Amino acid sequence: MAINPIQRVVVIGTGMMGPGIAQGFATAGKQVTVIARTQESLDRGRSSVEAILSSLQKAEFVTQEEMSHTLRSITFSTDMEAAVASADLVVESIVEDLSTKQALFARLDRLCPISTIITSNTSGLPITRISGEMEHPERAATTHFWMPSHLVPLVEIVMGARTSEDTAQRLREVLSDIGKRPVIVRKDIPGQLGARLLAAITREAMYLVQEGVASAEEVDTAIKTGLGLRFPVYGPLEHVDMAGVDLVHTTQRYTFPALCNSTETLPILNEKLARGELGARTGKGFYDWTQRDPVAFRAQRDAFLMARLKDLYPPKKG
């Protein structure tokens, strides 16, 4: 029996990621319900959606008409049971706690129609375990949206041990339909895909600072003006083919033994943690954030992302 395309989406959670996920589906024409436990949380979620849309409208990613239509397409509710009864897709974006997510997925499994796909926006918890108490885990998967979710196209579809191929392909279809660039991760491994790549780069970056090879500013500059500048159109495996497998093989034979291969967190990170240097929110990390404005820094990041997205994926004229 053919299954209808995904049109009705429920997003559970109004924290850092939920509003952006909801906005993306609604702007693309889906009917969206945002669920939270309290009216206060829903009000914050609505304000976040409005702020996201305002920034997109100013950058000409959406028109005023599309902005208004998006807001009309999103319902905010505390009644999860009623919302999921007719959902085609439920996206969970709540606290990163395994037992809490397991309990929610087991409940959703009982409440949702059998054709409903149920996903988690977890950035690292295994979907195999999150769905472990479900009767129908074949319809569960991870849809890991990258922050900021209203700008970054990547969504990782992580298949659990019992996720069906049909579930993965339906998710790929709907995410592509709303303008995302989904990738299917076929093994439910720690760190998924993108976070593993980031972890490898971050470990080496911290090691270079720890060993006095370069300062934090110099390491970040090398990434931002070198690797990062070409990564949008030139991935590392494309680089291998363009440079030549033989050349890369030779290079790696003498480079790999010198790379940091620690399986523990590095001393430089442990020391900062012990001193309470937790980054921007405490005023100091690898940088002195008392001399930098984190809000302005994020705004600069988002403006850059918008400009690059216009080059890579020109917005539709409305």
Q: Where are the domains of the chain?
A: 8-185, 196-260, 276-318
Give the CATH number of domain 8-185.
Answer: 3.40.50.720
One-letter amino acid of 11: V
HEC assignment per residue over 232-257: CCCCHHHHHHHHCHHHHHHHHHHHHH
DSSP state of 223: I
Rounded to an integer, what distance in angstroms lies between the CA atom of residue 219 and that of residue 195? Answer: 19
Segments of the chain assigned E as strands: 8-12, 31-35, 74-77, 89-92, 117-120, 140-145, 154-159, 181-185
Amino acid 75: pLDDT: 97
Q: Are strands 8-12 and 117-120 parallel, antiparallel or unpaired?
A: unpaired
Q: Which residues of the chain have pLDDT under 70?
A: 1-3, 314-318
Amino acid 316: pLDDT: 54
Place of tokens 């984190």: 294
Rounded to an integer, what distance in angstroms lies between the CA atom of residue 4 and that of residue 175? Answer: 15
Amino acid 309: pLDDT: 87
> In the CATH scheme, what architecture does the domain 196-260 have?
Orthogonal Bundle (1.10)
Q: What is the pTM of this model?
A: 0.91
Contacts of 203 (CB under 8 A, 6+ apart): 260, 262, 266
Contacts of 149 (CB under 8 A, 6+ apart): 17, 20, 21, 24
